[in-house]
Structures are given as structure tokens and as C-alpha cells.
Amino acid sequence: MKKLSTKKSLEVKKRNKIISIAVLCIAVVITALSFTSKESINIDQHLYSQNDLIFGNKYAKVTIVEFFDPACESCRAFYPLVKSQIKKYKGKVNLIVRPVAFHRNVGPVVAALEATKMQGKFWESLGTTLNYLSRWAIYHVANVDLLYPYLQDIGVDIEKLKIDVKNPAIAESMAQDALDAKTLKVLKTPTFYVNGTELKRFGAEQLKALIAKEVSKAYPGK
């Protein structure tokens, strides 16, 4: 009886050891996959798309990429700062914006902004959209119909816009922006990248410092 008990005990220990090793192996694999997913992402591949419009000198060596939500108050607050930095560095810095729909009902607003590209009115429309944010997004709930009159005031053909938003290319562009934001783990707006380097500590001074750093690297001695 004692011999059987000892044998059973050894089998239990052996089984537990195998289970422990298996668990350890799974943990190592999961850790490796997690590390790979974070470290092996090609940042540039997900920062830029074929639909991007560039604000500023397209040949500038420093590019700011901003993931933004049109209904985001912080995005509205930072927009003049970003434009001032482009002006400050005189042809050395440009801007690309990637719209994402984080706020409630903001999808149609993003689509409308994308459609203004077909009328050559995107940057004007973006500025107007942010300037009148409080008029078309009430309590953080967007209503594109309230935005239309302000876009019309700057020369956007609203009837054409309503047709253009149905273009499959608009949906494809929005889907690409959303996918890239998800891949890069963009969880808030605005999220900034400067020449592929993410702004980790959010703030106006931090953003200006990152831009200055990248400009000095791209234009040494100038």
C-alpha cells in the first residue's frame, strides 16, 4: 500500500512539474508576442497614408502627424499652436492630420471634412470646424447638420458635399485612419508624432520642445 502511495505521489509531482513547465512556456510565448506587437510595428507605415494632405512645405524635413477628433476641445486648443510652429520654422516643418471618430456622432463630421478635400477646401474647413466647435457639438455630441452653415460661409458647396460623403473612397479613408490609430494604440486626441517620435508627455511646452529637437536633428547647424 505504501509503495502504491509513493508511486502515486511521484506521478502527481511529475504531472505538476509538466504543467508548471507548460504554463511557463505559454507565459514566455505570450510575453514574446506582446513584445513583438509593441516593438516591431513599422511606425511610418501607420503614420502616413495615400490620402494625406500636407499643410506647409511638402519638402520640409520635419513632419508633425496629429491624430485628432473634430469634436475634441484639446484639438481645437492645440491647432493654433501647431500652425504657429509651422510658421516659426519657415519651411522646415509641415503637418498631416489623421481624423478619428472618438466622440459621439462625430463620424459624419469626419466624413464631411474628408469630402471637402474634393473641393480643395479641407484646411479652411478644418479651421472653421474647430472654431465653431461649440456650435455644432453640444455637450460633446456632434451634429453635422449644425456644421453645414459654417462650411457654406467659407464657400463649401453643401449639396455637392452631401453627395461626396457617399463616395466609397471616403469610407475607405476613414477606415484606414481608424485602423492606423488602433495599430499605434492611439487612445486619446490629440496624439502627436514628430518625425515618427510620439509625444509621450502631453503639453504645449513638451510639443514645442519635441519639434525643436527634431528640427535641430534634421537641419544641423542652421
**0.85 surpassed by pTM:** no
Q: How far apart are CA 193 and CA 220, in angstroms?
A: 20
Q: 123-134: per-residue pLDDT in tens?
A: 999 999 999 999
Cβ pair 100, 186 in contact under 8 A: yes
Q: 85-141: per-residue pLDDT in tens?
A: 999 999 999 999 999 999 999 999 999 999 999 999 999 999 999 999 999 999 889
**Is residue 80 reached through a cis peptide bond, with omega within 30 degrees of 0 on the bond before it?**
no
Q: How far apart are CA 65 and CA 197, in angstroms?
A: 10
Evaluate whether the domain defined by 46-218 bears CATH number 3.40.30.10.
Answer: yes
pLDDT < 50: residue spans in the chain: 2, 4, 12, 14, 16, 18-38
**31 contact partners, CB below 8 Å, separation of at least 6:** none
